[in-house]
Amino acid sequence: MYESMTVQVRTGLGDWRLAEAVQELSRGYRVLRDATAAVHRVAGPDLARVTAEIVAGAPERAAGFQAVWLDAGDEGRLVLLARPEVLAVLPWHVLLPELVAAWKAFAEPRIPVQAR
């Protein structure tokens, strides 16, 4: 059984950044050791339907935490699924900011410009 949270996200979330952020969380928290990340490209009008399908179809024997980015081009959603035992250790109000911080840590490096 899973509990879920759906967050509207901007376009260009970044496949690899999401995967790296989830990996970083799994290294930091033992309860997230089997966490997974996935990306699904969906047509804009189907976003609500696909969100509902992901939440309803979460497999019983899958990872304790899953992050699924639904990329609809001009909009997107991040569907977070967590087992109750994960949320007992990392409630949503802790888990979501930790995921955001990990995601921000994997921003593309910027080359500093020197002023003359």
CATH of the domain at 55: 3.30.559.10
Question: Who has greater pLDDT, 12 or 30?
Answer: 30
Task: Note the pLDDT of residue 111.
Answer: 55
Q: Is 37 among the domain residues?
A: yes
Take residue 4 and report the two structure tokens written for it: 């879920």
Task: Note the pLDDT of residue 92.
Answer: 96
Q: Is 61 among the domain residues?
A: yes
Q: Is 14 among the domain residues?
A: yes
Q: Is 26 among the domain residues?
A: yes
Take residue 23 and report the two structure tokens written for it: 């990996």
Q: How many domains does the chain have?
A: 1
Backbone phi, psi, residue 105, to 5°: -65, -20
DSSP for 3-57 reads EEEEEEE-TT--HHHHHHHHHHHHHH-GGGTT-EEEEEE--GGGHHHHHHHHHHT
Its domain, for residue 89, covers 3-105
Q: Is 111 among the domain residues?
A: no
Task: Note the pLDDT of residue 5.
Answer: 93
Q: What sign has the CA pseudo-torsion 80, 81, 85, 87?
A: positive
Section 18-47 average pLDDT: 87
The predicted-structure confidence for 57-102, as pLDDT tens digits, reads as follows 877 667 889 998 888 888 888 999 999 999 999 999 999 999 999 9
Task: Note the pLDDT of residue 110.
Answer: 53
pLDDT band with cut points at 50, 70 and 90 for residue 27: very high
Q: Is 114 among the domain residues?
A: no
Q: What is the pTM of this model?
A: 0.83
Question: Who has greater pLDDT, 12 or 77?
Answer: 77
With a cut of 90, say whether residue 39 has pLDDT above it: no
The predicted-structure confidence for 102-116, as pLDDT tens digits, reads as follows 988 877 655 555 655
